[in-house]
Structures are given as C-alpha cells and as structure tokens.
Structure 1
Amino acid sequence: MENLLNDFLEYLSVERGLAKNTISAYNQDLKGYISYLRKANIESIQETQQSNIVSYLLLMQKDGKAGSTISRTCAAIKSFYKFLFREHIISSNPADNLNTPKLEHRLPKVLSAEEIKTLFCQPDMSNPLGIRDRSMLELLYATGMRISELLSLSTDSINLETGFLRCIGKGSKERIVPINSSAIKYLKLYLNDAREKILNGRESKVLYLNRLGKPMTRQGFWKILKKYSKKAGITKKITPHLFRHSFATHLLENGADLRSVQEMLGHADISTTQVYTHITRNKIKEVYDKTHPRA
C-alpha cells in the first residue's frame, strides 16, 4: 500500500502539479488511513470496502479531530481510490458515492486593528533584521498572502512604482495583488539598505532572507512572530494564517466586495471566501445590539 501511495503522490506532483504543501497534507492523511487499515488486518488495498472508509472517518470524529481535517482526509481518500481505479489497480471504487462529512462552521479568529498596530511596533528599526521583520509583517497583512507565498517572493516579484506584487499560489497559479502605502514604505526601507547588509556581499534573488543571507524558512518566521507577539502582550495564539484571516475580515468590514477579496486571497471558489461574511455579520449584530435603543 505504501508503494501505491508513493505512485499517487508522484501523480499529484507531476501530472496535476499540486503544491508541495498540499501533497504533504495528502501524504499525512493517507498514511493515517493506511495505518488504520493495517491495524484492522487489511494488508491489500483491493480488500477495502466503503465501510472501512466510513469507520475510519467516524473514528477520527470520535477522537475529536476538526471537521476540516476529516473533510480533507475524506477528499484525499476519494482522490486516492479514483487514481487506483483509473490505473486498473482496483476493479471497483469503494469511495464512489461517499459523502463528505458536514463541517462544523468554526469561524476563523482575527486580530483587531489595535493588536496589529501594537504588534507592528515591536521590531527594532535601528537594525537590518528589525527592518526586515517589520517589512514581512506589513506585507503579510497588506496582501493576505499565505506564509509560503510570502517566503517564495523574489525581488522581481515586487513593483513598488505601481504598488503591486506577483504571487505564486496553490497549484502554481499566479495572481497580482495590490500593496498598501505602509507596506511599500517598509519594503523600500528593507530593499534600499537593510537587505544588502543582511546579504553582506552574497547574492540572492529571494526577497526575505535570514541572518545568514539564506532564504527565510517557515520555522524561522514562526519564531519571529512568536517573539513579537509575546513582546506585544497579545494572548491570542498568533499564526501566520491569522494575518490572512484578519486581512479578509477587515476588508469586508470596511466595505470591500466579496469577489475582490476572493481574487486577492487566490481562492478558486467563492464559497471558501464566504466564511468571512459570517464574521462581519456577527460584528454588525454586535454593533446593533449595543447601539439600538430597543435591542
């Protein structure tokens, strides 16, 4: 089964061109499923039935896994069996007509404008690394990019004159995203002076670099973010994705239309973006309850 999984992952990479992070998630999900089958004494993928898949998904639910995780695993399993059936490795597809579990609508947490302002004041602007950090934070919030997208930017991706950047998202899809004046200000500070000092004579096209002049990693950014959130006294669990949620929510709260936000986030389906409308509706209701005389 492990060999078949490897063949499937190669198909996702070569033929479908999926992003590394997506393939990694599929790998993790399917390894868990295969491990479950082994414990159930099923040694061949040809032996599996739909009841095995349903039992595994129910077990995940019983173990308290998030609805989004169960849904993603279900999608991975369905895609895996579809591949096996297409390659004539199985004669019938046990995942046919398998319903994806209904998701619990957990709204994403967001940072307030005040929390973002406090966080952005933490980097020490008297040294190149502090300027770099402020620029990264500003750009992440200004664009709503995923952290992987931010760290894959090159110096050629940015056009400060027009105020746009070119971003490569999931499935290698390119999109153009506007940059606000604050992010441009700190990008200029970083590019005009700080970045050269960090490079210290080395050469690189990667926009954001670590202290050794090498590409910044996700783990490196996480450490930076944790340090500044602690300094700022923010008790919320801050993740890079929290900036993405905050970006979308704040735009919608201030009158942006859903289609524009969808384009900027790089969502293929507008239903993915619609989760943020629930947050803005909650905000409107909160304001109504506080201000209407008879609320």
Structure 2
Amino acid sequence: MGTKVTLRHKPITNGRESLYLDFYPPIRCKATMKLVHKEYLGIYIYQNPQNEIQRDYNREMLYKAEAIRSVRVQSCINEEYGFLDKHKLKADFLDFFRSIALKKDPKWRMVYKHFEKFCGGKCSFGEVTVDLCRRFRDYLMTTRQLKFTNKKMKCNSAAGYFSTFRALLKIAYRDKLIRENVNDFLEKIEYEDTRREFLTLDELKRLADTPCNIPVLRHAAIFSCFTGLRISDILQLEWKHISQASDGGWWMRIRTEKTETEATLPISDEALEYCGQPGTGKVFKGLERSMTQHPLQKWIRTAGIERNITFHCFRHTFATLQIALGTDIFTVSKMLTHKNVSTTQIYAELVNEKKRESANRISLK
C-alpha cells in the first residue's frame, strides 16, 4: 500500500496553528533509520483570521504547505516504484560525500578534498555522470599532491583514491541518489608493482633492542610485527578488545578500519608484553599517527637500518616472517584479514625471492 500524505493543522499558542504532514503508513528517515509519522513544516497560520491581510497570509502559507505535500507524495511514489526523485538530483553531492568521509578513515577525507578541488566546490547528484567521473579519474592521474604541491601524485595513490571514490558511488547508487550504476562504465586505475619492504628477523631483533625516544611508538611497532595489524587498527585498539581464551592464551576481537572485517585473532604472550599493563581505554595511549613519520624514521636509522621502512612495512614483516618460518599461506591470510588468499600470495613470492638470493650466494666461480 502506498504512503498517504495528509496536511494537518495543530493549534498552538497566540491563536495560531502549526502545519505538519501526516504519513500513513509511516516512512523511514534515512538519516536516523526511524519510522516517521509526522513532519512539521515550520509554517504557521492564524486560527481565526481577523482581517483580509491575515486571510491572504493564510492562503499563501497553505499554498506553500500544499506544494511541499505534493513534493513528498511524489518522493514516496518514486521510492515505492524505483523512480529517481528529481528533487534528489538537485541535492548537494559534496555534502553527502563529506558526511560519508567523516565516518571513514583519513584516506576518504583526502579523496573528498581532491574531488572538492576538482569540481570547484559545487556538485549536485544530477551532475554525477559517467563523463564527470572519468574526468575525475584523469584528474587524479595528473594532479599534484595537496600537501606537497611541487610533487605529482603517485600512480598507486591515484589508484587507491579512485577506488575509494568508486566505493562512494556504490553507496550513492544503493541509496537511489544517482541515476545509474556509474561504476559499470568506469575503468579502475591500475596499481603499479612496488617493492614491499620488510625486516628480516635479525633486523627486527636489532630494532627491538634499539631505544626509541617515544616508547609507545616502539611498543606499537613491535606489536605490529607480532600481529600484522595496520596502524589504523592499532590506534583504535582498546583493552576491551583483548581477552583470555579458554586454553589460557589471549585473543583480540577487532573490526578492521580499512576493510571493515570482523576478526578474532590470537596474540602471543610476547606480543602482549608490548601492550603494557592491562587497563581501560586505548592500549597504546598517546600514540599519534604523526609519530609514524619523522620519529619512526629516526628510530629506524638509529638501529642501523638504511632502507625506506614505513610503519606499514611491519605488517609486511609479520607476513613474510610467518611464511618463511613455515606457517601456511591460508592461516597467514586469515591473520591478515585478507578477503582473498591471492592478496597474501604476494608475501609468499617475496619469501621465494629471498630463498633464491640465498641459494645464489654459494658459487665456485
């Protein structure tokens, strides 16, 4: 049964009536996901108009209220039968993008800033077409970084940003905010093969033995090598996520920020030692993402490691060491919360490359 929208009056103070819409059956508000019976319009009329001016005012306000009611009826029909509401097409796509980005990781906010720059700060849902999205793809492949304006954006950054943008388009299409599934007509930006740096076991031991000016950074880094957690997940890890299993071991129950995957992962006793004394709130209190830049590089150089090791390389370290030490690739894939084991296969290839290097060291020539 279609929703019936009725304009109603409610007596209020000073001889006035408030106008509101009555929905039957109720409609669901997408912002709160609650069922809504009434929508107050913020329009008031005189309950008993005393003169022609007040009567003209009432007629004008009732006309406006009826116009709003007609729009709501059209919206309900469009929702019921799958038509796209033309009023939604005029809505602000950038506002929608911003509201989604604020709930996601920092990369989403960076993509939002680039899109805002690309479209000049204005974009409605009706303007989100295949052509616009293709031009944004071209923009990402040629633009410069926002922070370092003298540097061109790297290909893999552009690929990741466009992948995030396509995820946004998927949400917009799911919510019936854009005309078509634009992603069906868009080509993704291909990632370039890059060298995945990781620490050898000897380097990891050396790093762990090297003092760091920021102890919480050292603890978080070594913990990442033990568990494979990303910096985003380590930053949000709380003591309530860690519990003891029936066999006496320890587990952490997390929801990864990047892939939004629910996972229950084991923690070794040695890894748990780097978490410090159990308590409440954040496990690595005081840890900031900014510490993973210059302070991290300073600590790594102090340990005598000259290669370009980022915090994410500790995740690579976990994966390659696990495979090198005999853990099967399917288990490692589960530990890394990869959705596809083919993603984990990359680390197996890195281990094989190292085996080949070690084999070639023995030579009689």
Question: Shared topology, TM-score over 0.5?
Answer: yes
Name the SS of the counterpart of 1:164 in structure 2.
strand
Cα deviation digits, residues 157-197 of structure 1 (max 9, x gap): 1539414333331355332223334324555xx32xxx8xx
**Deviation at residue 121 of structure 1 after TM alignment:** 1.0
| More displaced 10-residue stretch of structure 1: 57-66 or 278-287 | 57-66
User: Which residue in the other structure is 1:198 paired with?
Assistant: none
**Aligned equivalent of 1:96:** 184
Aligned partners of 1:265 and 1:7: how far apart in 2?
32
The number of equivalent residue pairs is 264
Structure 1 position 29, deviation (Å): 1.6
Equivalent position amino acid for 2:361 in 1: K
The structural deviation recorded for 1:255 is: 1.9
Higher helix share: 1
Which amino acid is 1:143 matched to? T
Asked if structure 2 preserves the Cα contact closer than 8 Å seen for 1:77 and 1:95, the reply is no
Q: State the shift of 1:138 in Å.
A: 2.9
Amino acid at match of 1:153: L
Instruction: Write out aligned runs for 1:84-163 (5 A).
Output: 84-123=172-211, 130=215, 134-156=218-240, 157-159=242-244, 161-163=248-250
Aligned to 1:75: 163
Which of residues 241, 266, 271 is equivalent to 2:342? 271
For the 8 Å contact 2:97–2:112, the answer to whether it is kept is no
| Residue 145 of structure 1: how far off its partner (Å) | 0.8
- C-alpha distance 121-59 of structure 1, shift in aligned 2 (>3 A): same
Matches within 5 A, 1:46-65: 46-47=126-127, 49-62=129-142, 65=153
**Match for residue 174 of structure 1?**
262
The 1-side partners of 2:164 and 2:356 are apart by: 38
Task: State the match for 1:226 in structure 2.
Answer: 297
What letter matches 2:290 in structure 1?
Q
The answer as to whether partners of 1:138 and 1:182 remain within 8 angstroms in 2 is no
Higher relative contact order (CA 8 A, sep 6+): 1
Secondary structure at 1:166's aligned position in 2? strand
- 1:142 deviates by 0.7
Is residue 2:86 matched to residue 1:6? Answer: no
Unaligned 5+ segments in structure 2 are 1-89, 144-151
Within the candidate set 229, 240, 243, 2:314 is matched to 243
User: Of residues 273, 277, 283 in structure 1, which corresponds to 2:354?
Assistant: 283
Q: Partner of 1:38: helix, strand, or coil?
A: coil
Which has the larger strand fraction?
Answer: 2
- Bigger mean CA deviation after superposition, 144-153 or 83-92: 83-92
Change (3 A) 1:278 1:8: same
2:207/2:300 contact within 8 Å kept: yes
Instruction: Call closer, same or farther: CA 1:274–1:36 in 2, change over 3 Å.
Output: same
CA distance in 1: counterparts of 2:174 and 2:255, whole angstroms? 30
CA contact (8 A) 1:165 1:176 kept: yes
Change (3 A) 1:99 1:115: same
Match of 2:8 in 1: none
Gap runs ≥5 in structure 1: 14-18, 196-202, 211-215
Question: Does structure 1 conserve the Cα–Cα contact (< 8 Å) formed by 2:224 and 2:315?
Answer: yes
Distance 1:154 1:101, change over 3 A: closer
Name the SS for the 1:275 alignment partner: helix
Matched, 1:206 2:282: yes
Q: In the TM superposition, what is the alpha-carbon distance from 1:222 to its structure 2 partner?
A: 4.9
Q: Are 1:8 and 1:83, in contact at CA under 8 Å, matched by a contact in 2?
A: no
Q: Which structure is larger by alpha-carbon Rg, 1 or 2?
A: 2
Q: Secondary structure at the match of 2:198?
A: coil
Aligned to 1:200: none
Q: Does the CA contact (< 8 Å) of 2:91 and 2:124 recur in 1?
A: no
In the alignment, the residues of structure 2 paired with residue 182 and residue 56 of structure 1 have an alpha-carbon distance, to the nearest angstrom, of 47
Letter in 2 for 1:97: F
Identity among equivalent pairs (%): 23
Report what 1:262 is aligned to.
333
What SS does the corresponding residue of 1:209 show, helix, strand or coil?
coil
Q: 1:281 to 1:151 in 2, by over 3 A?
A: same
State which of 2, 20, 33 in structure 1 corresponds to 2:104.
Answer: 20
Task: Give deviations 1:195-217, integer Å, cap 9, x for gaps.
Answer: 8xxxxxxx84322223xxxxx32
